[in-house]
Structure 1
Amino acid sequence: MTPSLSVSPRPAAWPVAVLLFSSSLWGLSWWPLKQFVAMGLSGPVLSLLAYGLVSLCTFMLLWRERAAWRSQTGLLLALALVGGWANTSFVYALMLGDVVRVMFLFYLSPVWSVLGGWLFLGERVRRRRIIAVALALTGLWFVIGGVRALQSPLSTADWLALSAGLAFAGNNLIARAAQAIPLRSKTVAVFLGCSVLALAAVLGQGAAVPAVSAPVLLAVLAYGFVWLLLATATWQYGVTHLESGRAGIVMVAELLVAVLSATWLGSEQMSPVEWLGSALIALAALVEATDAGEPGLPLVTVPKEST
């Protein structure tokens, strides 16, 4: 007896729209993070408070759905670890470093997504997708300064951003493979992973959690239960219902939102060459997001037995 899947198709337009919404939230996330830095919170402490409080309140959802994900427990644990690292390292990098540089280093993730989908999931890398990746990488090269970017060593924020991008792509692959795991369980698992990793970072630093005033605690609660929960749930939905390579490139919209908002709302400036790079990255996202050459991933998979 071997398991087979009975599926109901769903157009890819809706998952793309949801993923674009999630990417916009993540792209704007630098702003509340910088506010928390001004309040005296570090990346690990903020992650511990925000993700930890949400995890405590939503753990029962994960436990209630244990019958659905029991057959893919290993994938659920991998999702918690990889997705947890993607979130916590991304948050910490944005709090430590320059927003634009962190975002562009992080956004090597589309390359990892395309390569990982090809290597581990057998996804076809078609000509259109190769063009999109080439456009994104060319734009990235322009934005980080070309050869000049290689002349300065990478900082802690840079390494965190690079590792977050790699983990982000890994999360996409795992979420796509773990079709038996409900969306709510995936979301809660990532929050639990973030909580555990943040706790390990706080303990590793040997620093006590600072006293948090009521207004700051309320701000952290709002950030965790509204911003992070919504961004993570829509992220998991999008990457579950799209090929990992396509999802990785669509999420380049996050980069554009971050760069534009950091330029308009923050103190960061971009040169004409950097604007050219951003335009190429935008074009790459458009090329991929408007590709109707392949169907979307099934919305529901129902295992059945066949001989």
Structure 2
Amino acid sequence: MTTQHTPSAAAPVLALLTGALLWGLAWWPLKYFGSAGISGNLMVSVSYGLVAILGLPVLWRQRRQWQRQAGLFLLIAVLGGWANTSLVNALMSGNVVRVMLLFYMAPVWGVLAGRLFLGEHISLHRGAALALALVGAFVLLGGQAAFITPLSPIDMMALSAGLAFALTNVTTRAAHAIPLASKTLVIFLGCTVTATTAALTIGQTLPALPASVWGLIGLFSLTWLALATLATQYGVTHMQAGRASVLLILELVAAVISAMLIGGETLRPQEWIGGALIACAALLEARTPQLLPAR
């Protein structure tokens, strides 16, 4: 008699929390690299491209598995490429707190997309968590002032990154025949293509940076980015898309607190209140039982 290994209920949650922490702090090295003279598109092209190149043999060895869902495989590349490229550009160019707030409309898209495309049930607990997240984001953005302030190109990048990120998670969940390694690596490939195309379109070229900076970019790519992406993909593969999207709101908390402590950004009282509501939403979602898809 043989037993089949399945991940414990805690493993996907721990993986997502690890990914959320790494992504929430990623603005710090990105800001440093930006100050050294590299643009967001080229930063993505180089850092994600390095991992993508090293991962090509793995994608080739697993081709028979991901070819079964080639359409979803390509969709993960497109959506993941847009999400990461847009977010990196927004973080390197804009205010970290505002970018992350707009990006974290993602849980709204994730819950709704999980229901529409995967038939995931929206329970009372999940609905309450979603409501808390929305109220928290509304408060953080300044209440009614959020509807008055016009959206800048950076705002649009952050919003579109959140939407693409949520759809990436839903697609990842649906692509059950594709190995985790392929799901992870194809995102790096999609980011490389997206960012390189954008850089070439607007005529951006690689700057002459010191060798030490290029070394740090390589280290950042092969450790920080790779682990963050792998942890996130593992988590969303083994839990419902709606639950994953709400749990990943903790990335916002990490980004806001670190931007305040490290980046010198300040938080007003309503931003503290909004952040607390979002944290409560994530904790409530973590305690929501897994539900079977609706039929």
User: Which bracket does the TM-score occupy, shorter chain normalised?
Assistant: over 0.9
1:29-68 to 2 correspondences below 5 Å: 29-68=26-65
In 2 relative to 1, CA 96–71 (structure 1 residues): closer, same or farther, beyond 3 Å?
same
Alignment of 1:137-176 (within 5 A): 137-176=134-173
RMSD value, Cα: 1.5
Q: 1:80–1:170: structure 2 CA closer, same or farther, 3 Å change rule?
A: same
Deviation, 1:103, is 0.5
1:21 aligns with 2:18: yes
Residue 123 (structure 2) aligns with: 126
Does residue 1:108 correspond to 2:105, yes or no? yes
C-alpha distance in 2 between matches for 1:114 and 1:208? 39
Which residue number in structure 2 is paired with residue 213 of structure 1? 210
Q: Match of 1:14, as an amino acid?
A: A
Please report how far the alpha carbon of residue 9 of structure 1 lies from its aligned counterpart in structure 2 after TM superposition: 5.5
CA distance in 2, matches of 1:150, 1:204: 33
Structure 1 counterpart SS, 2:279: helix
CA distance in 1, matches of 2:292, 2:55: 29
Letter in 1 for 2:284: V
In the aligned structure 2, how far is the partner of 1:212 from the partner of 1:96? Answer: 19
Aligned partner of residue 266 in structure 1, secondary structure: coil
**TM-aligned CA distance change 1:61 to 1:204, over 3 Å:** same
Q: Which runs of 5+ in 1 are unaligned?
A: 1-6, 298-307
TM-score after normalising by structure 2: 0.95
Match of 1:84 in 2: 81
Q: Give the partner amino acid of 2:266.
A: Q
Report Cα offsets for 1:256-300 as digits up to 9, x if no partner. 000111111111101111100100000000000122x22699xxx
Equivalence for 2:263: 266
Q: Which residue is equivalent to 1:4?
A: none
* Letter of the structure 2 residue corresponding to residue 249 of structure 1: V
Please give the alpha-carbon distance, in whole angstroms, between the structure 1 residues aligned to 2:254 and 2:42: 26
Partners of 2:75 and 2:167 in 1: CA distance:
9
The within-5 A match list for 1:219-234 is 219-234=216-231
- Give the TM-score, by structure 1 length: 0.92
Question: What is the rounded CA distance, in whole Å, between the counterparts of 2:286 and 2:237 in structure 1?
Answer: 16
- Alpha-carbon distance between aligned partners in 1 of 2:52 and 2:6, rounded to the nearest angstrom: 32
Deviations 1:146-174 (A, max 9, x none): 11122221111110110000000010111
Amino acid at match of 2:290: E
The aligned counterpart of 1:305 is none
Segments of 5+ residues of structure 2 without an aligned counterpart are none
Within 1, Cα distance between the matches of 2:140 and 2:170?
Answer: 27
Aligned with 1:294 (options 278, 290, 294): 290
Contact conserved, 2:42 with 2:204, CA < 8 A, in 1? no
Q: Could you tell me the percent identity over the aligned residues?
A: 50
**Is the Cα contact below 8 Å between 1:82 and 1:171 reproduced in 2?**
yes
